[in-house]
Chains A and B, each alone.
Chain A
Amino acid sequence: MAHAQTEAKPIVDREQALDWLRQMLVIRRFEERSAMLYQRQKIGGFCHLYSGQEACAVGSIGVLREDDYVITAYRDHGHALARGMEPRAGMAEMLGKASGCSKGKGGSMHFFQANRNFMGGHAIVGSHIPLAAGMAFASKYRGDDRVTICFFGDGAMDQGALHEAFNMAGLWKLPVIYVVENNLMSMGTHLHRHSAVLDLTQRGGPPYGFSASVAVDANDIEAMAETTLEAANRARAGEGPTFIEAKTYRYRGHSMSDPMKYRTAEELEKARERDPIALYEVVLRERGWVDDEGLELMQAEVKELIDEAIAHAEEAPEPGLDEIYTDITVSPHIPQE
């Protein structure tokens, strides 16, 4: 049975709260249906699902402004949807269609949406972390007060790129929020087998002079939101980066091809007792903001939305072969043709 975690006064109003709950449901359904489509080979490549981590993306992105930048790694569907990407654009991308958010050229790991300042999913572990510092650098350079938020997994903590970017972000007090989604696993390797220091807040902020380094229960969406809001305020006030260790858990294997032998049924069961969506439902019921009927209605709407996204994606046309040579920075070297 789920228990309410957030007892402090709500940081959101009813409308916002219900929207967040709905977004988490959209992500969960998007992911679970993606798994089915993957099994039917409609989706190719690698497919890393976000199920279990929804509160992290929705809570943090939910308190940011539309002009802030959001960038993430390859487990990117949740962040994109939390940033307001239409499920149909995401689903069409998964199916490689021309109407996908990256025109079918990016796939599951490379979602992009410029008009929402969604700066992409990036599939080389750690290599997007300097990009986030670069976006924050640009904000500072231009003198605007935008913030950049950058998500990555605990495994990315081990990349050199992270340490170089953190040093410069701290040195130049860049307006960036780094969120490690610590789901305890990097692929099949548990945190204790890849990091000598298990408290990631010690590895993240302090050595680089960040304004703060905090751990948060990322299954508690409002705690996640509150922590992010504080970080954003500090960043906008010129106080520099924050490192957030978002403690979370993923329900599925690393990718669809991972049988997850390193986990027991009990561990999974235990994690599910603290399901971020179920937890928030309890909170919202206790506040009298939602009831059975409201929830059922919401679920039906979400189901319809995802059904519609899939129908769109399945019917959408493939990109034409001439797309091979579009969107290339320099003119291609085309022999014989």
Chain B
Amino acid sequence: MAVIQYREALNQAMSEEMERDDRVFLMGEEVAEYQGAYKVSQGMLDRFGARRIVDSPISENGFAGIGIGAAMVGLRPIIEFMTFSFSYVAFDQLVNNAANMRYMSGGQFSVPIVFRGNSGIAGNLGATHSHRPEALFSHFPGLKVMMPSTPADAKGMLKAAIRDDDPVIFIEHENLLGDKGEVPDDPDFVVPIGQADVKREGSDVTILTYSRSVMTSLKAADKLAEEDVSVEVVDLRTLRPLDMDTILASITKTNRCVFVEEDWYYCGIGAGVADRIYRAAFDELDAPIQRVAAKDAPIPYNRTLELDILPNVERVVEAVNSVLYR
């Protein structure tokens, strides 16, 4: 296994799937000649040519729609949003067309498409560029939503997304793009959609989380281990559909749960997941589920304020202590 960056893992996933299947192509702003605004598609134009690596104008609603149309007639587009903040320009296409197509055509049309790009609060970009759209998109039946936390997951999950016959919202994290890790080179290495992963085993508390918050949670778990608190960290990986089996197995083991996410608290992913846990396993819980999320404000530019908005190790530790009544 080679050690590569998260962004290279994404590149490998797309490149391998394009090798395998001529129907797969990549379209978006600056993906070709500029080599990708975040260098995810570096080298792909040389390798696959302008027919398959397509630079588009800044017309999110337009090229998202073009992708959906192409998918309805048999292609398998990967549409890159430079960042997911810009996907809102294409919101109509994503939620009215992509999400509904299979259902409202009575199953006649599927839309095998991946909308991918980075999101997250990263580097003082201010309110417009610091979105976390995962809860929003997870709300819509018809969309699958995936958020990898490690390079290996990035590769395996993106391959699964590309191979899927329905629209997948695939959200990367800007602060993870440069992370390195071991990534399998097997061209059929796939991390199935809807499969959570126990990133760290533990017995006292379960932390449910995803994307960069996995890293924050693992750090908090290390810290808590020094105080003999054993934390299990479960990376949901796919936010819709949810892997309830893995979630419930962990809750049944630890009987306590903290949910950590970078999105806002109100109507966040944690709210939906907590509801499902309460309905499925209320009796298993020894304490109410605690949620750690971003503070409820648009994201400010100023560094100090921006950092303060995000969940951090300290807040996670505090939440774990509170479900342990420590």
A141-182, CB < 8 A from B: 155-156, 158-161
Cβ–Cβ contact A159 & B37, under 8 A: no
Q: Is the CB of B58 within 8 A of A155?
A: yes
**B180 in the interface, Cβ–Cβ < 8 Å?**
no
The smallest beta-carbon distance between B317 and chain A, in angstroms, is 14
CB-nearest residue of chain B to A44: B124
Segment at the B interface, from A77-85, A263-271, A318-326: A318-326
Q: Among A107, A262, A323, point to the contact of B124 (Cβ < 8 A).
A: A107
Please state if A110 and B127 are interface contacts (CB–CB under 8 Å).
Answer: yes
Give the shortest distance, in Å, between B63 (CB) and chain A (any CB).
10
Q: Does the CB pair B125–A159 fall under 8 Å?
A: no
Stretch at the interface among A2-10, A56-64, A186-194, A283-291: A186-194
- Residues of B72-99 whose CB lies within 8 A of A: 85-86, 88-89
Q: Which one of B181-189, B200-208, B301-309 is at the A interface?
A: B301-309
Interface size on B, residues (CB 8 A): 41
User: Total contacts A to B, CB within 8 angstroms?
Assistant: 136
Cβ-neighbour of B265 out of A125, A319, A333 (below 8 A): A333
Residues of A within 8 A of B86 (CB): 124-125
Judge whether B301 and A106 touch: CB under 8 Å: yes
- Complex contact A44–B58 (CB within 8 A): no
Interface size band for A: 35 or more
Most buried by A among B62, B266, B300, B309: B300
A324 to B297, CA, bound (A): 6
- Taking a contact as CB atoms under 8 Å apart, the answer to whether B57 and A335 are in contact is no
- Chain A contacts of B57 at CB under 8 A? 155, 158, 186, 189, 194-195
Q: Give B278-300 as 1s and 0s: 1 = Cβ < 8 Å from A's Cβ atoms.
A: 00000000000011010111101
* Contact call A123/B129, Cβ cutoff below 8 A: yes
**A124-B128, A187-B29, A324-B297 given; A44·B61 CB < 8 A:** no
What are 27 A-B residue pairs whose CB atoms fall within 8 Å in the complex?
A44-B123, A44-B124, A45-B129, A96-B302, A102-B301, A104-B305, A105-B301, A106-B126, A107-B126, A110-B126, A122-B128, A124-B89, A126-B89, A158-B58, A158-B62, A159-B60, A159-B89, A160-B62, A160-B89, A187-B29, A194-B55, A262-B33, A319-B304, A324-B309, A325-B296, A335-B265, A335-B293
